[in-house]
């Protein structure tokens, strides 16, 4: 073989070998990459029935459903503040909370329909009332997330302490702690605060964060971190002032967590207890009728229905008051649309605006100032025109509902005449089937006479007796003797009198007007109740002011104006006088503080104002509030004891309100009818036996 050919063969074999080696290496690398991708997918891939995927799909479904969409947005507005920039988690938690709520509400709806299927009016009221329950369930679920965030902050501040010892820089300590993946909610807040501290304009960014922070303690932490970064840290009694302030905030959070836990424990069953009577109306009625036949007239008549309505209204009022009592003073976020709610849209319609303006007091008048003060004392964010729209609508709805209710009562009384079994003797127990059949036959016979004579004018009992004797209506009494015929005619005459008298009278229209006026006053009375409950929070708020002052008074360059701005930021009950003082501060610090002192009447807060006045003119801030530091342990114990008293007072008021519907149910709807009607029936039976 030629050497040239051999050389070509060797070269071709070498190229083929090199190609095979390269292909093998590439294939091996490809296999490794595929293996790595496969492993990664195994760790992250969700199956078809993953709860994550289901909640995301449910979120989209809820978003497209008109009625449910309102509640979805209400949840979102609170969760998106906690889950900063995490849309996936916000959607998941929103759908999760709403789904769990429906798992409670839907079985409750089915139970209401099954228990009240024979009473359409009661069933309708209960189903409408169930809408209010949605808010309770949703608020409870979101509050749980809010409380979990507060508990996470305890561990977060502990980690901050360790990181600050290591780096000795506020922003670096926050950044290091924000890398924690175990508590993502508080880690997001830490990342946000870190971004604020390193921004070009941290002061303005901090003001924006104050508007959206989930709770006051993160506001305090962000503010103290900013002041420490700007003015530097210092040693107080051999310890870092920044870390001492962190410890103060932690103690405040611990007290708040204990307070919330105790309030939840006290009120967790009261909402359920106040609702139970509504669900027990029909079961109690059916049991009483089955065991004591003589109470059928009460439960199936007007009186029974009136007591039912009274219990329903009382339950609704007690439920709303219980919620106000529990939620008052909490750090929950207001998710109401305060910019353009439905009241504002309604008020923009010119005819409605003119009507509302007729009811509203003139701006600057004594009545207007009184209403505005009540709204401020109750911490209401509504405008006065919104309040009057609520009052007018509630008045109109109550009047119409009362007229419908009175008409329904008349219908119930007339239907009772036509449908109730008619007996010729008093029944103590339950009728047998044979007696019930005879009684219904007698009722049908009476109904023929009622339909024949009910529209006759100047009707007399003798006219009915003559019709019985002649068989003009039916032949049931042709062969009856005079006494039996007379008794039957008297009974039919009484029934006709009932049918003819059941119409809407002017007294009932007047009663509907009275109910409408009470409903018109309802929103104002609710504001006054909320004001009374807020007064219980005064001591707690003043003690929170003391903690804020304790944190600020040793920071250099902090003055009275900065302290007032901080107090305004965290105030609730005393917000208006503090805001007014801050606005007037430039015109004269001492005079502005003196005006605020005259406006408030709580002694502990007046002492704080006097100390601020001393710090303005005479002595340094740390000397003016020196007792806060020296008596810190005393104030902590006093704060605990104050919280105990607050919880005790709220618990007493809450129990009195929460148990009212239950007491009314058993006493007014069960015991009194059984005792009173039972004694009346027995007395009537004994009189009949005596006459025989």
- Choice between 126 and 614, residue whose per-residue pLDDT is larger: 614
239 - beta bridge partners?
Answer: 236
Q: What is the pLDDT of residue 346?
A: 84
Q: Is there a domain that residue 400 lies in? A: yes
Q: What is the pLDDT of residue 690?
A: 65
- What tokens appear for 54 in the block? 């289901």
Q: How confident is the model at residue 482 (pLDDT cuts 50, 70, 90)?
A: low
The predicted-structure confidence for 625-675, as pLDDT tens digits, reads as follows: 877 766 767 777 777 787 788 788 888 888 888 888 888 888 888 888 888
- Choice between 268 and 559, residue whose per-residue pLDDT is larger: 559
- How far is 380 from 376, CA to CA, in rounded Å? 6
- What tokens appear for 557 in the block? 């360059």
Strand spans (E) along 177-301:
235-236, 239-240
Q: Is there a domain that residue 176 lies in? A: no
Mean pLDDT across the chain: 78
Q: How confident is the model at residue 290 (pLDDT cuts 50, 70, 90)?
A: confident
Q: What is the pLDDT of residue 21?
A: 53
Whether residue 76 has pLDDT greater than 50: yes
- What tokens appear for 484 in the block? 């039996």
Q: Is there a domain that residue 444 lies in? A: yes
Percent of the chain residues past pLDDT 70, beyond the cut:
84
Q: Is there a domain that residue 245 lies in? A: no
- How far is 81 from 507, CA to CA, in rounded Å? 54
Whether residue 1 has pLDDT greater than 50: no
Whether residue 15 has pLDDT greater than 80: no
Whether residue 35 has pLDDT greater than 70: no
| Domain closes at, from 492, 509, 532 | 532
Q: What is the pLDDT of residue 646?
A: 79
Secondary-structure breakdown of the chain: helix, strand, coil percentages, each rounded to the nearest 5: 80, 0, 20
| Domain closes at, from 532, 562, 593 | 532
Handedness of CA 609, 612, 618, 619 (dihedral sign): positive
Q: Is there a domain that residue 237 lies in? A: no
Q: What is the pLDDT of residue 517?
A: 92
The predicted-structure confidence for 341-382, as pLDDT tens digits, reads as follows: 778 888 888 888 888 888 888 887 888 888 888 887 776 778
Cβ–Cβ under 8 Å, residues 562 and 552: yes
Q: How confident is the model at residue 312 (pLDDT cuts 50, 70, 90)?
A: confident
Whether residue 581 has pLDDT greater than 80: yes
List the domain range (segments joined by +) for residue 28: 1-45
Q: Is there a domain that residue 149 lies in? A: no
| Domain closes at, from 532, 552, 568 | 532
- Choice between 383 and 469, residue whose per-residue pLDDT is larger: 383
Q: Is there a domain that residue 265 lies in? A: no
When divided into structural domains, the chain yields a total of: 2
Whether residue 332 has pLDDT greater than 60: no
What's the whole-number mean pLDDT along residues 432-459?
75
The predicted-structure confidence for 507-565, as pLDDT tens digits, reads as follows: 888 988 998 999 899 888 888 887 777 777 777 788 888 888 888 888 877 888 888 88
3-state class (DSSP) for residue 586 = helix
pTM for this model (two decimals) = 0.68
Q: Where are the alpha helices (DSSP H) in 292-365?
A: 296-300, 302-327, 342-347, 350-359
Whether residue 130 has pLDDT greater than 80: no
- What tokens appear for 191 in the block? 């990342």
Q: Find tokens 């439905």 and name the residue.
A: 342
- What tokens appear for 3 in the block? 């050497």
The predicted-structure confidence for 144-167, as pLDDT tens digits, reads as follows: 778 888 888 888 888 888 888 888
Q: What is the pLDDT of residue 430?
A: 59
Q: Which of 46, 41, 148 is nearest to 88 (CA)?
A: 46
Whether residue 25 has pLDDT greater than 60: no
Whether residue 676 has pLDDT greater than 60: yes
Q: What is the pLDDT of residue 27?
A: 52
Whether residue 570 has pLDDT greater than 50: yes
- What tokens appear for 605 in the block? 């807060």
In 10 A of CB 655, how many CB atoms? Answer: 16
What's the whole-number mean pLDDT along residues 205-225?
85
Handedness of CA 360, 363, 367, 369 (dihedral sign): positive
What's the whole-number mean pLDDT along residues 203-227?
85
DSSP string across 40-106: HHHHH---TT-HHHHHHHHHHHHHHSHHHHHHHHHHHHHHHHHSTT-HHHHHHHHHHHHHHHHHHHH
Q: Is there a domain that residue 384 lies in? A: yes
């Amino acid at each position: 073989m030629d050497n040239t050919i051999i050389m070509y063969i060797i070269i071709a074999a070498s190229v083929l070998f090199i190609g095979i080696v390269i292909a093998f290496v590439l294939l091996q690398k490809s296999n490794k990459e595929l293996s790595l991708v496969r492993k990664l997918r195994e760790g992250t891939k969700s199956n078809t029935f993953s709860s994550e995927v289901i909640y995301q799909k449910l979120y989209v479904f809820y978003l497209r459903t008109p009625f449910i969409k309102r509640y979805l947005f209400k949840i979102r507005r609170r969760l998106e503040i906690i889950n900063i920039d995490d849309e996936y988690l916000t959607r998941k938690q929103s759908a999760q909370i709403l789904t769990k709520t429906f798992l409670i509400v839907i079985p409750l709806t089915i139970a209401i329909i099954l228990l009240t299927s024979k009473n359409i009016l009661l069933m309708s009221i209960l189903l409408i009332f169930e809408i209010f329950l949605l808010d309770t369930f949703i608020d409870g679920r979101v509050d749980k997330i809010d409380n979990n965030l507060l508990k996470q902050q305890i561990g977060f501040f502990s980690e901050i302490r360790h990181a600050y010892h290591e780096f000795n820089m506020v922003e670096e300590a926050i950044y290091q702690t924000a890398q924690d993946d175990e508590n993502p909610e508080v880690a997001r807040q830490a990342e946000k605060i870190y971004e604020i501290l390193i921004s070009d304009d941290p002061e303005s960014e901090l003001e924006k964060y104050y508007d959206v922070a989930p709770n006051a303690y993160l506001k305090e932490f962000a503010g103290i971190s900013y002041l420490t970064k700007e003015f530097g840290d210092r040693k107080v009694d051999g310890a870092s002032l920044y870390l001492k302030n962190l410890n103060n905030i932690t103690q405040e959070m611990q007290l708040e967590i204990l307070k919330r836990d105790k309030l939840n424990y006290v009120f967790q069953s009261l909402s359920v207890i106040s609702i139970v009577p509504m669900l027990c109306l029909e079961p109690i009625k059916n049991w009483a009728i089955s065991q004591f036949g003589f109470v059928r007239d009460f439960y199936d008549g007007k009186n029974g229905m009136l007591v039912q309505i009274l219990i329903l209204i009382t339950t609704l009022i007690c439920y709303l008051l219980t919620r106000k009592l529990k939620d008052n003073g909490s750090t929950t976020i207001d998710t109401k649309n305060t910019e353009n709610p439905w009241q504002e849209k309604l008020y923009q319609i010119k005819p409605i605006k003119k009507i509302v303006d007729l009811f509203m007091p003139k701006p600057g008048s004594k009545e207007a100032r009184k209403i505005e003060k009540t709204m401020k004392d109750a911490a209401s964010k509504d405008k006065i025109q919104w309040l009057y729209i609520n009052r007018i609508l509630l008045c109109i709805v109550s009047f119409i509902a009362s007229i419908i209710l009175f008409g329904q009562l008349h219908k119930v009384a007339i239907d009772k005449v036509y449908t109730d079994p008619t007996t010729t003797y008093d029944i103590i127990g339950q009728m047998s089937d044979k007696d019930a059949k005879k009684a219904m036959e007698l009722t049908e016979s009476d109904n023929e006479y009622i339909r024949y004579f009910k529209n006759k004018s100047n009707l007399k009992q003798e006219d009915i007796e003559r019709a019985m004797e002649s068989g003009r209506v039916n032949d049931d009494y042709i062969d009856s003797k005079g006494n039996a015929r007379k008794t039957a005619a008297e009974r039919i005459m009484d029934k006709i009198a009932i049918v003819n008298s059941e119409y809407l009278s002017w007294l009932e229209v007047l009663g509907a007007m009275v109910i409408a006026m009470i409903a018109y006053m309802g929103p104002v009375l609710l504001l006054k109740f909320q004001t009374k409950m807020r007064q219980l929070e005064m001591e707690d708020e003043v003690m929170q002011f003391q903690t804020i002052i304790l944190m600020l008074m040793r920071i250099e360059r902090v003055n009275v104006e900065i302290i007032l701005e901080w107090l305004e930021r965290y105030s609730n009950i005393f917000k208006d006088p503090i805001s007014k003082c801050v606005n007037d501060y430039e015109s004269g610090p001492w005079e502005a503080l003196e005006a605020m002192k005259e406006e408030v009447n709580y002694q502990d807060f007046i002492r704080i104002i006097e100390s601020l006045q001393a710090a303005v003119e005479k002595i340094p801030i740390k000397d003016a509030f020196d007792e806060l530091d020296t008596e810190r342990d005393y104030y902590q114990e006093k704060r605990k004891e104050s919280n105990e008293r607050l919880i005790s007072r709220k618990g007493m008021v809450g129990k009195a309100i929460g148990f009212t519907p239950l007491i009314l149910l058993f006493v007014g709807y069960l015991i009194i009818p059984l005792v009173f009607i039972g004694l009346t029936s027995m007395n009537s039976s004994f009189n009949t036996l005596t006459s025989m």
